[in-house]
Amino acid sequence: VSALPAPFDRDAYELVRRGVFDGDEEVWRNRQGDFAFLHPRPETDYAAYVPRVSSLALTDYKKTRPVIARRFEKIAGQLGEKGRVLELGAADAAFLHHVAVERPGWELACVEVDQNTRAARDALSGLVQYETLEAAAASGDRFDRVCAFHVLEHVLEPAPFLRDCARCLLPGGRVIFEVPSLDDPLLWLYRCEAYEAFYFQRQHPYVYSAASLGRLLEENGFQVVETIHHQRYGLENHLQWLTEGKPGGRERFRELFADREAGYLADLERSGRADTAILVAELAGAPR
């Protein structure tokens, strides 16, 4: 516990699981239930990193364009008519392509080491690219928004990562972080054992929730200005897990419950217990 990043090194923990999706690590969760970590702490070679949805051939199911559109809809209020945005871990720059269409007044930049997706990034006119966050911070370029979607849960040492994010901000700038949440309803509401065995993975040494991500940001000099509960997966996926114990979806579920999907997602988000948390924060003491 003493090796955990602050403030989590001050929490009390209990063992909740032995073994994860792709390893033998233990899962420990704090007593308040808002943060979990793997022990021993796994090391991941991100030069060879392949997202699990790709390795399991799930990318056809999780259509990229609707996912990006819903994400943009959730944070659109944080993106005015013009500004400068830096996305960390941009992959093929799908989100930035969407920003270019919806907010053409924004200047775009990204951090991404993966050369397999370089061609897609190069296709975005005017995109400034850095190979590392440290390089972006050292460049002198500064941004109104620094975004990282499903990145922070991979970061073993979040304090220096967050310091470099802060260095990249213009005065009054904000960070936008999206992480998979420990409040996932398949874990807390349905208590789906098959999903729990799938959920924890070596590539995610830490699992946050909206509450614990907020504590991490505050510990590192930020103040949270908006918390967004975002339910990415709906009835089709949940019924697939509950009936067959595996990821994906089925056409029959999609057709049968098509008129209930939007309400189901909205109800979970209103509960404050969704599968994804998005937090917007600025440096503490920054003028509003």
Does residue 65 sit within a domain? yes
pLDDT for residue 52 is more than 80: no
Cβ-contact 151, 204 below 8 angstroms: no
Mean pLDDT of 67-83: 97
- The pLDDT of 58-86, averaged and rounded, is 85
Identify whether 67 is part of a domain.
yes
The Cα 92–Cα 121 span in angstroms is 5
- pLDDT for res 242: 97
pTM: 0.92
Q: Of 39, 40, 30, 26, whose CA–CA distance to 7 is shortest?
A: 30
Query: Contact, 82 vs 105, CB < 8 A?
Result: yes
Q: What Cα–Cα distance (Å) separates residue 60 from each residue in 54, 179, 248? A: 9, 21, 9
| pLDDT value at 145 more than 80 | yes
On whether residue 38 sits in a domain, the answer given is yes
pLDDT value for 39: 97
Spatial neighbors of 57 by CB under 8 A, at least 6 apart, are: none
Res 63: pLDDT: 55
Write down the pLDDT at residue 48: 55
Decide if 3 is inside a domain: no
Residue whose token pair is 């937090």:
279
Rounded to the nearest 10°, the torsion over CA 253, 257, 261, 263 is -150
The confidence band for 61, taking pLDDT boundaries of 50, 70 and 90, is very low
List, for residues 191-216, the tens digit of each pLDDT value: 999 999 999 999 999 999 999 999 99
Q: What is the pLDDT of residues 146-155, one digit of tens each?
A: 999 999 999 9
The CATH number of the domain holding residue 22 is: 3.40.50.150
Q: Name the average pLDDT for the chain.
A: 93
Indicate if the pLDDT at residue 46 is higher than 90.
no
For the cut 80, the answer to whether the pLDDT of residue 45 exceeds it is no
Can you give the pLDDT at residue 211?
Answer: 98
- Of residues 16, 20, 56, 10, the one with CA closest to residue 41: 20
Domain annotation covers residue 269 = yes
Residue 2 lies in a domain: no
Decide if 54 is inside a domain.
yes
pLDDT tens digits, 19-33: 999 999 999 999 999
pLDDT of res. 50: 56
- pLDDT score, position 60: 45
Q: What pLDDT is stored for residue 58 in this prediction?
A: 46
Reported as a single tens digit per residue, the pLDDT across 223-277 is 999 999 999 999 999 999 999 999 988 888 989 999 999 999 999 999 999 999 9
How many structural domains are present in the chain? 1
Quote the percentage of the chain above a pLDDT of 70. Answer: 92
| 27 φ, ψ (degrees, to nearest 5) | -110, 120
247 falls within a domain: yes
Average pLDDT score over residue span 1-7: 96
What per-residue confidence (pLDDT) applies to 208?
Answer: 99
Domain span at residue 86 reads 8-42+49-283
Smallest CA-to-CA distance from 286 within 75, 184, 130, 144 is with 144
